[in-house]
Amino acid sequence: MTTRSYSDYFAFPDINQRKPTWFQGIIFSPSFVLYPIVINKRSIGLIYGAHISPDHHLNQDQFDALKTLRNQAALAIKLSPTSTF
């Protein structure tokens, strides 16, 4: 069994059909990622990363960095003294 990386999924020709409806036609990006910020099963934000040039694509290191950023943001919000989560 072969494990796919994030970037493998962007090789599918129907990637535009996988974009959320609100995203289609508003933002063109050949390579993008959306990571929701979820705390206690509530979505409170979103981390978005993309390349706008058709010649550039996000690589695994960039996906991992954005995921780490999302995780750190969620932790900081959750541990904030003024947090209601």
**Tens-digit pLDDT profile for residues 37-83:** 999 888 999 998 887 776 777 888 988 999 999 999 999 999 998 87
| 33 assigned to some structural domain | yes
pLDDT tens digits for 1-47? 455 554 455 455 566 666 677 766 666 666 778 899 999 888 999 99
Residue 84: pLDDT band by 50, 70, 90 thresholds? confident
Q: Quick one: pLDDT at residue 30?
A: 67
Q: Quick one: pLDDT at residue 3?
A: 52
For residues 70 and 17, what is the distance between their CA atoms, to the nearest angstrom? 25
| 9 assigned to some structural domain | no
For residues 45 and 34, what is the distance between their CA atoms, to the nearest angstrom? 10
For residues 85 and 82, what is the distance between their CA atoms, to the nearest angstrom? 9
How many domains in the chain? 1
Say which residues have a Cβ less than 8 Å from residue 34's Cβ, sequence separation at least 6: 20, 46, 47, 48
CA-to-CA separations, 56 to 10, 44, 51, 53, in angstroms, rounded? 12, 29, 6, 6
| 13 assigned to some structural domain | no
Domain limits for position 67: 19-79
| 14 assigned to some structural domain | no
Other C-beta atoms lying within 10 Å of the C-beta of residue 71: 13
